Amino acid sequence: MAVENGLPREHYLNATYGIRSWLLTTDHKRIAMLYLASVTFFFFIGGTFASMIRIHLLTPNGYLVSPETYNKLFTMHGVAMIFFFLIPSIPAVLGNFLIPLMIGAKDLAFPKINLLSWYIYVVGGCFVLYSFSTGGLDTGWTFYTPLSSVYSNSAVTPAVIGIFINGFSSILTGLNFIVTIHTMRAPGMTWFRLPLFVWAHYATSIIFILGTPVIAITLLLVGLERMFHLGFFNPALGGDPILFQHLFWFYSHPAVYIMILPAMGVISEIIPTFARKPIFGYSFIAGSSIAIAVIGFFVWAHHMFLTGESVYAALTFSLLSYLVAIPSAVKVFNWTSTLYKGSISFDTPMLYALGFIGLFLIGGLTGLFLACLGLDIHIHDTYFVVAHFHYIMVGGAVMGYVGGLHYWWPKITGRLYPEFLARIAAVTLFIGFNLTFFPQFILGYMGMPRRYSSYPPEFQALNVMSTAGASILALGYLLPMVYLIWSMRYGQVAGRNPWPATGLEWQTDSPPLTENFDVTPEVTWEAYDFANRPDLGLDVPGAPVHAHGDD
Amino acid sequence: MHRSGELYGQFETMDQQRESASLGMWVFLVTEVLFFGGMFMTYTLNRSTYPDVFGEASRSINLTLGAVNTVVLIGSSLTMAMAVWAAQVGKTRLVTFFLIATLILGTVFLGIKGVEYHEKFVEHHVPGLDFNFELGASPATNAHAQLFFSLYFAMTGLHALHMIIGAGLLLWLIKESLRGRFTASYNTPVENVGLYWHFVDIVWIFLFPLLYLIDRH
């Protein structure tokens, strides 16, 4: 069906026309595009707040806004980025687009629920935007009580309602993925032939369905407390504010893995493709995703070492937090082992993947500093924490997302992005990111607390470096934004499998048909098996004959 | 609307479609367990902090109405189970009958719940609205009793909301059933709504002792 010198005649983008055909679509690929547009919108809102924060911190006494407004800036930055960009970004855009293609299905198991989840996201987003524009939000993205439920004068109620509503969008996406992965796999697509991207999303979905309802009910209680002056979390009325923190982090720590696991899935796809080698230790990478999801539920109170929780509880949570490092390290070791003696090419997605490994390593290791009970008491609530989670969230999750967008862009649009510009953007992002956030490790270690609108003059040099880095980082995000849109019309036609890669998604047209495949594919090969795939047109001398590097 | 037994485009076989719908419902119920779980946690912590006031407040709510409601709800689970059975063996008229019976019992439950809520309003036991637990109670006792009643309203309210959604689903099932949509070969909606209904029932089985029975011995 693929036409040699052009796009396929019919595909999901041109199958039907008009605004209704988009707003009422049940095609997972189109819903992914709706999500792409909406998460990008929230990314720029969150990014604008971030830029204002960095400009403000150019001078010790604050350059731009009043301390009250500063509180709102970092709160709204966090809420927009975490709940409306990072959590849905990879699952709802790339996962939505790719999971049915990767397992050889025509769609997700529940296409209408998939569309519903996007509408829920939009409604939740509207509530949050209403909060931002009618007084803003100044509680911190963590909504600690009783500040959020009693004392804050900002628009907490609509924000809490918005995040409550948005939670159901995550739950429905997770539910859809789990059922789809269980019941919709093509003949021959066994569990251990699934791409690791799918395993990562399965693990993410487990967190979606087990964690999200808890944050939903918690924020509902905060909302009720604020509206009806109840006392669940208000010590003045006999309630317990620490209970709020437990319930909040029971979701919000696993939510960190919601954000990073899908990015790890992306990296596990990119690395074998550009090292042209089966991934090393397939089953360990798959299992480590599940292990991260499970252990991730038992570490939440490491956010609360300074709340006066019992020493034994703190020690236990410290130890359990160290355990998460094991499956995370398994992944990093296996990715690097995959690179060993690989035939590596430095295409743009690979640059992002390599950047991810380095930044995730720094972010992960500094996470161990914070899991360490004694050390955490010193660097708690300092810029060290800010730097740590931005290394995981921006250096990890966003790098994975942007890398994944580049990697699958030819599949999504049928056209290639301009490679040279894209490499420049990837390097710009990497440099800008490190210049922004590495100084924050030092600032934090020297004792600069987070969430303050001013700082002692001796911290200015490092803050100026950080702000300078942020401007480079912003350029690194704007550049792909421009050339990716440009490439949708003018990019070189990609063909089915431009890299080439081994997954099922590359076996169909680019862009794919609405039904994904002409005939339901039958899988007879193992995942990432380059050696036994003559259809890829590769000559891979010396490549291992076995499917998995560890077999 | 789904025609009876029609295969949706994304599925290859009816079995696959049925399996997906059923698994989807179970996954949803797992989510629901965690949703209620946060509230049960809040309840447990507060009760262990203020056992005496919680016991006293618990004794003030109407045990008879609560007990009757428990029986009504278990009865509705029975009729729901019968509806699923009737659908599986293809007794179309019986499906409608049992669905209507379930809806009636569910409505009775909500009605009795309404009577109980009314009592609370009369007794000034509604948190935030001129709350006063009993004459001469200390401010601390009043505050802690208000915590109990906040949880009482939040938990039974969320449960009642689930019942109302369930009643809406039953109405839809009855409408479909009257058109003879459910047969021995196609009854997934009845089965899934049944699962949901039993789940809501089970939540009440936990709520009843925790709210009504903690200090009656």
Domain boundaries, chain A: 20-536
Q: Check CB contact under 8 Å for B42 and A243.
A: yes
Task: Give chain B's residues under pLDDT 70.
Answer: 1-5, 135
Segments in A104-195 forming alpha helices (H): 111-133, 156-183
Average pLDDT, chain A: 94
Say if residue A285 is exposed, middle or buried (CB neighbours under 10 Å; 0-12, 13-18, 19+): buried
pLDDT of residue A3 exceeding 80: no
Distance CA A64, CA A85 (A): 25
- The structural domains of chain B, with segments of one domain joined by +, span 14-212
Structure letter (DSSP) for residue A107: S
* Per-residue pLDDT tens digits for A306-348: 998 899 999 999 999 999 999 999 999 999 999 999 999 999 9
In the structure encoding, which two tokens stand for residue A449, read together? 């607390």
Kindly report which listed range (A411-420, A532-541, B9-18, B184-193) carries the lowest average pLDDT score: A532-541
List all residues of chain A from 169 to 198 with a beta carbon under 8 Å from chain B.
171, 175-176, 178-180, 182-184
Please check whether residue B161 touches A, CB under 8 A: no
Structure letter (DSSP) for residue B179: T
3-state secondary structure of A161: helix
Confidence of residue A446 (pLDDT cuts 50, 70, 90): very high
pLDDT of residue A24 exceeding 60: yes
Query: What is residue A540's predicted lDDT score, i.e. its pLDDT?
Result: 56
Query: What is residue B98's predicted lDDT score, i.e. its pLDDT?
Result: 97
Query: What is residue A5's predicted lDDT score, i.e. its pLDDT?
Result: 58
Query: In Å, how far from its chain's centre is CA A336?
Result: 21
Chain A hits for B37, Cβ within 8 Å = 213-214, 217
Looking at CA atoms only, how far is residue A407 from chain B in angstroms? 26
Query: Which CATH code, of 1.20.210.10, 3.50.50.60, 1.10.10.10, 1.20.58.100, is assigned to A20-536?
Result: 1.20.210.10
Kindly report which listed range (A6-10, A272-276, A303-307, A353-357) carries the lowest average pLDDT score: A6-10
Name the nearest CA neighbour of A530 among A549, A514, A511.
Answer: A549
Query: Are the C-beta atoms of A184 and B10 separated by less than 8 Å?
Result: yes
pLDDT of residue A162 exceeding 90: yes
Q: Check CB contact under 8 Å for A175 and B49.
A: no
Chain A hits for B28, Cβ within 8 Å = 175
Residue type, A427: V
The arithmetic mean of pLDDT across residues A437-444, rounded, is 97
Query: What is residue A545's predicted lDDT score, i.e. its pLDDT?
Result: 44
Domain B14-212, what fold? Four Helix Bundle (Hemerythrin (Met), subunit A) (1.20.120)
CB atoms within 10 A of CB A378: 13
CB atoms within 10 A of CB B10: 23
Please check whether residue B10 touches A, CB under 8 A: yes
Structure letter (DSSP) for residue A493: B
Structure letter (DSSP) for residue A390: H
Distance CA A273, CA A345 (A): 9
Longest alpha-carbon distance in chain B: 70
pLDDT of residue A485 exceeding 70: yes
* Per-residue pLDDT tens digits for A255-271: 999 999 999 999 999 99
Note if the bond before A418 is cis, omega within 30 degrees: no
The arithmetic mean of pLDDT across residues A152-168, rounded, is 96
Query: What is residue A539's predicted lDDT score, i.e. its pLDDT?
Result: 66
Looking at CA atoms only, how far is residue A109 from chain B in angstroms? 7
The pTM of this model reads 0.95
Chain B hits for A234, Cβ within 8 Å = none
pLDDT of residue A45 exceeding 90: yes
The arithmetic mean of pLDDT across residues A153-159, rounded, is 95
